[in-house]
Amino acid sequence: MSEPGGRFRWCPECGTRYDAGTVACPGCRVVLVADPPVAGGAPVVIHKVPDAAAGALLAGLLEHHGLRVHLRSATLPGYGNVRRDWGTTAWGELLVSPDDADEAREVISEYLSALERGGQVRDADVEGGSGAL
Ligand SMILES: [Zn+2]
């Protein structure tokens, strides 16, 4: 994941700049990103995810909508199994720039409600069944 000219990496949480060899911000324990922080302000948490699969899925969904999203996990690569003190059972969280927060929340909300509707289809979908035991 080395980009030409990408000598530096930034902490998406506090905005500190590090050399490219640095994996994570020691202060925030956040994985560094290749892009400098957006001018609009620090990224905001829009959703917490229970596991890596859900995080990757939702991050991909947001990127599909043209939103830049950071997936921050409680377990940092390169730091063993250091875990943040979340106070929750969430595996990690999704962050976007403040400008994108509303749209990102809407995308996730629509996706989750669609999932719920899909989950209820199974019972309602049984029509014309002949098996009355
Ligand atoms: Zn930091």
Q: What is the DSSP string of the chain?
A: -PPTT--EEE-TTT--EEETT--EETTTTEE-BSSPPPTT-S-EEEEEESSHHHHHHHHHHHHHTT--EEEEESB-TTSTT-B---SS--SEEEEE-HHHHHHHHHHHHHHHHHHHHHHHHHHHT--S-----
Q: Give me ligand 1 centre to Cα 56, in Å.
A: 22
The alpha carbon of 18 and the centre of ligand 1 are apart by a number of angstroms equal to: 10
- 22-51 pLDDT, tens digit per residue, is 999 999 888 998 887 665 677 889 999 988
57 token code pair = 């899925």
Q: How far, in Å, from the CA of 123 to the mean position of ligand 1?
A: 48
pLDDT digits (tens, 9 = 90+) for 94-122: 999 888 999 999 999 999 999 888 865 44
Contact between 70 and 12 (Cβ < 8 Å)? yes
pTM for the structure as a whole: 0.54
- Residues within 5 A (CB) of ion ligand 1: 11, 13-14, 25, 27-28
> Considering only CA atoms, which of 83, 109, 12, 93 is closest in space to residue 51?
93
Per-residue confidence band for 16, with pLDDT thresholds at 50, 70 and 90 = confident
49: CA distance to ligand 1 center in Å?
21
Residue 6: the pLDDT is: 67
Q: How far is the CA of 24 from the centre of ligand 1 (A)?
A: 8
Q: What is the pLDDT of residue 103?
A: 95
Under the banding of pLDDT at 50, 70 and 90, the label for residue 63 is very high
CA of 113 to the centre of ligand 1 (A): 34
